[in-house]
Structure formats: C-alpha cells, structure tokens
Amino acid sequence: MSDEESSPRIESRADLIGVMSSGGKPKSEWRVGTEHEKHVYRKGPIRPVPYEGTDGIHALLAGVENRTGWHPFYDKGNPIGLRNLEAVGGISLEPGGQFELSGAPQPDIHAAAAELDSHLEDCRAIGGPLNIHFLGLGVTPIWPVAGIPAMPKSRYGIMTPYMNKVGTLGTSMMYRSATVQANLDFSDEADMVKKLRVSVALQPIVTALCANSPFVDGKPSEYLSFRSHIWLNTDRARTGMLPFAFDEGFGFEQYADYALTVPMYFVIRNHEYINVAGEDFRAFLDGKLPQLPGEKPTLKDWENHLSTLFPEVRLKQFLEMRGADMGDRNQVLALAAIWTGLFYDSEALDCAWDLVSDWTNDEREALRNHVARTAIHTPFRHGTIADIARLVVDIAGDGLRRRAQFHNGQDETIYLAPFEETLNLGKTPAERWLDKYHDEWAGDLTRIFDEAEM
C-alpha cells in the first residue's frame, strides 16, 4: 500500500485548508530551507549524462548513497533519489538528470552554507571519477531537449506529453532548466498572507538579480533569463503571479480554491503512477475521477496535487520562492539570505510591504513579463528594476543585521554579496557571461562549462 492509500481520506474543505494551515509555527521555530538543481555533464567531449551505465547517474546516486548513508527510493525498481532519514531533505532527479538537493530546514544561512558545501563536496568526490560534472546555470546552454537523456521517473512520462498540449516550452522547463529555491515559514494565516503578497510582488526583482541563463541551443538567446521566459510559456493554468492573492479576504481557503481549478497530473496507487493529466480534482473529491471511479482522495493525494502547482511563489506548509535561475554556490545562498532578511524580521517585512503595497496587478504582471529579457534594466515607474532591487537588498540586509546570527564573527549579510556585486557593476551574471562569450571566448560557448562548474 502506498503512502497515498494509507493517508486519511479528505472529509471536508477544512481538510484541504488544514494541509496548508498546519504549517504555521511560532517564530522561534522558523527555519530556512534551500533547494537547488544542477545540470550534469561529461567532459572530453562535453555531452549529457545518461541514467544507465557504470558511470551514469544511477552510479552517481549509488556513490552518494554509500558516502552519506542516505536511503534510496525507487520508481519501478530504479533508484531515483535519496532520503536523509536524520533530517527532512534529500536528493532527487529532475527530468533531464538535473541533480537536486532539497536541503533540510536550517536555523540560519550559515548552517545552510555548511549543508551546501558538504553536498557539493559529496558530488565532486563521487562525480569526478565517473566523469560527471555539475553546471550552475539556469538553462543548459548547448543541448536541445531531444538531446538530453530522460530519467526513469513515471511522473515525467505523464507530464512530458501533457506539456506539449498546454504550452510551447514546457519540455524545456522539464529537461533543460534549473532553479534555486528558498523555503520559509509563517506563523499564521495573516503572516502567510503578508509574506505571500510581498514575495509575489518582489519575485520579478529577484528574478532579475539572479538572471543567469542567456544562452540556448548553442548561442545567445534574446533573454538574460531564458529560464524565466520558459516559465511564461509552460502551462498558464498552474504558473504565474497569483493576482487573487491581493484580493481582500485572501487566505488559505482562497489558495485551496485556486488549487482546485488546476488540472491534475497523476494519482499514485500501489506505488504506481496513474495518468490523470487534465482531470479535475473536484471530480476526484466527488468520487467521479474516470480512472478511479468511486474512489475519493486522501490528504496525501492533495499534497501531491499542491506540489504540481508552479506559481512564482508556492504555498504548502511553508512558502517556496521559485523565481530564480540556478547560479554558483554564492548565488544559491544569496537567494536564501535575501528572503530570510525580508521575512524573518518584522521591521524589514513591514518596509517591504510598504514598498510594494501600491503596485497594481498590471504593474506586477508587466514586471514578470519583461524581466526575462531585460532583468535589472527593466523600466519601472520613474526608474528601473535596479533601483527597486537596491532598496530590497538594503531592507534585507537591515533585517539580517537585526537577526544577529553570527558565525566566525560574521553575520548573515555576507551572503548578499552576489547581489551587491550585480548592482554595483550594473550587470547581471548573464551579462557577464555574454561579455566573455563575445570577448575572451571568441564565441566558444564550451568555455562556460569550465567557468560555471560547481
């Protein structure tokens, strides 16, 4: 019996809401989690890495398992990830083999940094002898989707054909994009609402600061964050800026109502994925799902469905910040730092809300639609996103200073350095890569695999 089948049945709307509201925690228990995806590749020549073989991603997982003691989990007999049973978190495979660490909730950014460094050390120690290397970019710069080996995960076999029905770049999202994500807590519904509104409004600002995917198909694209452009063309039913979050009376119930409108992907029964792509969860609640007639969902089914929503900020038992390109080690930590500074100090959160509270839905949507191409140079009101980003980084820095979490005599503001560099230079990481491509690399894009290796 799968976890989904043994989970309690949903009896009422209160159960739907409770899955999210149960995440509320007192401030003393707030933590920060990081998740990041790394592209994998081989050298000599540069090429993608398959799952199979003695030097494939399967072997990489086995090596990390032996080194860490983490426990594998399977899909039809194939190991597809590792669980850290001593703490929440683990390793999973994205559709194109992107190697993802879902970090455990940490008390501060210093602890998140230590966790990340340990993981990268594991990856290099095991990956090196297998000629498997890791790339910190938002999109693979060379290979088309068709050239990337697919991982043996049943849910991806369901999602791939569905993506081709609902958008033009959904398979690019799956197979050749990579993101970094920060997960943060809330205390109650009112705190969740304020943080969600601030983070939705500011997500394009952070997307701009993190722009790190200017290449696609072996050449410069027209975008500084092609990953962000991909998400504009993936599946509009489950992506976007959540405009209803700014409606009066918004809360857990309204988010649940939104989630119910999003078409399903799959249901898991007896450890098998049942393809229900495009079906209505409300029909499932009524026992009218064509693939499972008469059967009603469990709480685990609802949790699985919530995980298939892809807005810029996602609500589960915590808030997930989803708008950033993958970058190097320091950029991963900068993302966690900026949101921690904004969210975990009440004065900083108030300042951030004051900054965005009069932005209109049209303005928020315009920012989201334009940052993929022009990042920090995107016009906004009487200036640019760079002007807003400077204010946001300063607010976050003040919040981190007031948190006063020290390690080796330094507080968490040290992790904002990549954003400070971008603003001081007036150039995103993507623009710095483009400068190298046009100058010292003389158009040889393979050079980026050495320079962006993690």
Is 277 buried (19+), middle (13-18) or exposed (0-12) by CB count in 10 A? middle
Q: How far is CA 141 from CA 171, 220, 223, 380, 401, in A?
A: 15, 9, 12, 29, 38
Specify if 29 maps to a domain: no
Mean pLDDT of 87-94: 93
Mean pLDDT of 148-157: 97
Strands 313-315 and 319-325: antiparallel
Dist. CA 290–CA 270, nearest whole Å: 18
Closest CA to 173 of 236, 115, 114: 236
DSSP 79: E
Specify if 203 maps to a domain: yes
Q: Predicted confidence band at 449 (pLDDT cuts at 50, 70, 90)? A: very high
Convert the pLDDT of each residue in 158-211 to its tens digit.
Answer: 999 999 999 999 999 999 999 999 999 999 999 999 999 999 999 999 999 999
Helices (H), 281-384: 281-285, 299-306, 329-343, 346-356, 361-374
Residues ≥6 apart with Cβ < 8 Å to 278: 162, 165, 263, 264
- So what's the pLDDT on residue 86? 85
- So what's the pLDDT on residue 214? 98
Mean pLDDT of 107-134: 98
- So what's the pLDDT on residue 1? 76
In terms of residue numbers, what domain contains 214?
164-262+309-451
Q: Predicted confidence band at 218 (pLDDT cuts at 50, 70, 90)? A: very high
Convert the pLDDT of each residue in 95-105 to its tens digit.
Answer: 999 999 999 99
Specify if 430 maps to a domain: yes
Q: How far is CA 443 from CA 51, 212, 264, in A?
A: 31, 18, 43
Q: Percent helix, strand, coil in the chain (nearest 5)?
A: 50, 20, 35
H or E segment to which residue 134 belongs: strand 133-135
Strands 71-75 and 78-83: antiparallel
Mean pLDDT of 342-361: 98
Mean pLDDT of 423-428: 98
Average pLDDT over the chain, rounded to whole?
A: 98
pLDDT at position 292 over 80 = yes
Specify if 274 maps to a domain: no
Specify if 284 maps to a domain: no
- So what's the pLDDT on residue 305? 98
**% of the chain surpassing 70 pLDDT:** 100
Specify if 40 maps to a domain: no
Dist. CA 12–CA 105, nearest whole Å: 30
Specify if 423 maps to a domain: yes
Mean pLDDT of 388-403: 98
**CA 293 from centre of chain:** 34
Give the CATH number of the domain where residue 355 resides. 3.30.590.20
Dihedral (Cα; 158, 159, 163, 166), 10-degree rounding: 80
- So what's the pLDDT on residue 5? 87
H or E segment to which residue 181 belongs: strand 179-184
Q: Return the structure tokens found at 59.
A: 């072997």
pLDDT at position 47 over 90 = yes
Residues ≥6 apart with Cβ < 8 Å to 108: 32, 340, 403, 405, 407, 412
Q: Report the number of distinct structural domains present in the chain.
A: 1
- So what's the pLDDT on residue 87? 82
Specify if 336 maps to a domain: yes
Omega cis (within 30) before 26: no
Convert the pLDDT of each residue in 227-262 to its tens digit.
Answer: 999 999 999 999 999 999 999 999 999 999 999 999
Mean pLDDT of 222-227: 98
325, 213 Cβ separation under 8 angstroms: yes
**Using only C-alpha atoms, what is the Rg of the chain?**
21
